[in-house]
Chains A and B, each alone.
Chain A
Amino acid sequence: MANEEKPKLKLAVYWAASCGGCCVSVLDVHEKLFDVVAAADLVFWPIALDVKYKDVEAMPDGHIDVTLFNGAVRNSENEYMAKLLRKKSKVLVAYGSCAHMGGIPGLANFTTKEGIFNRAYIESESTDNPEGIFPQTEYEVPEGTLEIPEFYNDVRSLGQVVDVDYYLPGCPPQTERLVEVFMAIVTGAELPPPGSVVGANDKTQCDECEREKSENKTIKKFYRPWQIKDDGKTCFLEQGVICMGPATRGGCGVRCIVGNAPCRGCYGPPPDAPDPGSKMMSAIATMIDANEDNEIQEIIETIDDPAGTFYRFSLPASILRRTIS
């Protein structure tokens, strides 16, 4: 609890290429909101406060104590604000999967700006755009020049644009973890070195998962979750369903598995992973119960979308970053 003499922490929350869920997760502090409000001054939060970009630009550098930046960087506005908030913040936290690794918006790295624009503005079934007009960054109207951000070809994580102090993973991060991290900062506890992941365990999901595991990890066929009658207690992998749990940090309370859905990897890889998805890819391949080319390939046919499965939240952070364009 902050005392009267200690100045309140200046806190900012910003959303770039985001769904808004991370902002909701901050609001989800519920009754802990009073602790937060007592300890912090919210100085910038587009979803909740009427503070403008120019107000942020006017702040002295380092004025903001902590910025929780969620969302990926996929256009020039996102990039501008990432750089601006980096300048204006003492501690910049990449909050949530999108800022951490690119997240769901990161899946756009399977295609190109051209592909996206064609789909969105021309090909999509409900679009009526006979002149094939695409958004332009500048447009002249009688009143002057209208500007909108430039849409980039590639999605990037926050750390690929600016230096990040901490990563708080999750889609969205579990609110309890946010409160823990926030209170650690507020109480001046010793923080891990810059660049660390906070609010998540070092060990992966299996460590906390209550499902029964055995050494029988060989798979003759992979199933989508809806294709099996889940017995509710056996490890998903042993039932042939790909669960990213073994390669995903814990800290979310194993919430998807508790809800009888396999983990999809939103908390990202464990420490020192060279790539967010390749080790799970190797593990899954090793589990394939076949030694002949054609048998192996038949089983792999049942893995519908390896790239989307192993890199659902982390494509921009992967070694390849995106498809060849």
Chain B
Amino acid sequence: MDFEPKIVSFLCNWCSYTGADLAGTSRMKYAPNIRVIRIMCSGRVEPTFVLKAFREGADGVLICGCHPGDCHYHEGNYKCLRRYHLLQKYLKQMGIQGERLKLEWVSASEGKQFADLADSFTETIRGLGPCKVKENVETLA
């Protein structure tokens, strides 16, 4: 059977979640592989959530927030950016390809960008193949 990526996505309420909704109201079409969790701000996203997603079987994790300078809560997206970079370094040490975690800024009016991002990230993950974390942990017993 062809591999269908499972991607967990964290979208911030004010910008990226609204942008994703806009893609919907505009009836844009994109790949059905992204499963969304809504949070108020990308500043709420922390490494624990990303690691948990991989552990539960996600092949990719996508975090979206407001563009730098436009965060509804002023600076939450910067905190998310800092955590993203440190997490990438940790993931590399643990043998997880950095391309599996993506942080992208999507504003409330960027419905098309969100749809394109959903498609392109799905293809990136499809190319990387399934993420082995869950399988790895299950073989440990």
Inter-chain contact A307/B140, CB cutoff 8 Å: no
Inter-chain contact A300/B85, CB cutoff 8 Å: yes
Inter-chain contact B94/A291, CB cutoff 8 Å: no
B132 on the A face (CB < 8 A): yes
B86 on the A face (CB < 8 A): yes
Given A320-B51, A323-B95, are A281 and B82 neighbors across the interface (CB < 8 Å)?
Answer: no
Instruction: Give Cα distance in the complex from A88 to B85, angstroms.
Output: 48
Question: Which residues of the other chain, B, contact A284 by a CB distance below 8 angstroms?
Answer: 86
Contact of B140 among A154, A290, A291, A323 (CB under 8 A): A154
Instruction: Give Cα distance in the complex from A324 to B68, angstroms.
Output: 34
Instruction: Give Cα distance in the complex from A110 to B90, angstroms.
Output: 12
Instruction: Give Cα distance in the complex from A278 to B83, angstroms.
Output: 10
B121 on the A face (CB < 8 A): no
Using a CB–CB cutoff of 8 Å, the interface residues on chain B facing chain A are 46-48, 51-52, 54-55, 68, 75, 78-79, 81-83, 85-87, 89-90, 93-96, 132-133, 136-137, 140
Contact of B90 among A154, A274, A290, A306 (CB under 8 A): A306
Closest residue on chain B to residue A323 by CB atoms: B95
Inter-chain contact A320/B82, CB cutoff 8 Å: no
Secondary structure call for the B interface: helix
Inter-chain contact A285/B87, CB cutoff 8 Å: yes
Inter-chain contact A285/B83, CB cutoff 8 Å: yes
Question: Which residues of the other chain, A, contact B79 by a CB distance below 8 angstroms?
Answer: 285-286
Question: Which residues of the other chain, B, contact A322 by a CB distance below 8 angstroms?
Answer: 94, 136, 140
- Choose among B89, B93, B96 the residue with the greatest number of A CB atoms under 10 Å from its CB: B89
Contact of B81 among A281, A296, A307, A320 (CB under 8 A): A296
Inter-chain contact A293/B81, CB cutoff 8 Å: yes
Question: Which residues of the other chain, A, contact B83 by a CB distance below 8 angstroms?
Answer: 281-282, 285-286
Q: Name 12 A/B residue pairs within 8 A (Cβ), A-sorted.
A: A274-B48, A275-B51, A278-B46, A281-B83, A281-B86, A281-B90, A291-B75, A319-B55, A320-B54, A320-B96, A321-B137, A324-B94
Instruction: Give Cα distance in the complex from A110 to B95, angstroms.
Output: 9
Report the count of interface residues on A (CB-CB < 8 A): 33
Given A275-B48, A319-B48, A324-B132, are A285 and B93 neighbors across the interface (CB < 8 Å)?
Answer: no
Question: Which residues of the other chain, A, contact B86 by a CB distance below 8 angstroms?
Answer: 281, 284-285, 288, 300, 303, 306
Question: Which residues of the other chain, B, contact A281 by a CB distance below 8 angstroms?
Answer: 47, 83, 86-87, 90
Inter-chain contact B82/A278, CB cutoff 8 Å: no
When A and B form their complex, which 9 residue pairs have the shortest distance between CB atoms, in order from nearest?
Answer: A324-B95, A285-B86, A285-B83, A307-B93, A282-B46, A278-B48, A319-B51, A323-B95, A278-B47
A297 on the B face (CB < 8 A): yes
Distance of B68 from chain A, by nearest CB (Å): 7
Closest residue on chain A to residue B79 by CB atoms: A286
Question: Which residues of the other chain, B, contact A307 by a CB distance below 8 angstroms?
Answer: 90, 93-94
Inter-chain contact A320/B48, CB cutoff 8 Å: no
- Choose among A154, A278, A323, A325 the residue with the greatest number of B CB atoms under 10 Å from its CB: A278
Inter-chain contact A320/B85, CB cutoff 8 Å: no
A156 on the B face (CB < 8 A): yes
Inter-chain contact B93/A306, CB cutoff 8 Å: yes
Which A residues, 212 to 229, have Cβ-Cβ distances below 8 Å to chain B?
Answer: none
Closest residue on chain A to residue B140 by CB atoms: A154
A305 on the B face (CB < 8 A): yes
Given A274-B52, A282-B48, A291-B78, are A323 and B85 neighbors across the interface (CB < 8 Å)?
Answer: no
Inter-chain contact A323/B48, CB cutoff 8 Å: no
Question: Which residues of the other chain, B, contact A285 by a CB distance below 8 angstroms?
Answer: 47, 79, 82-83, 85-87
A90 on the B face (CB < 8 A): no
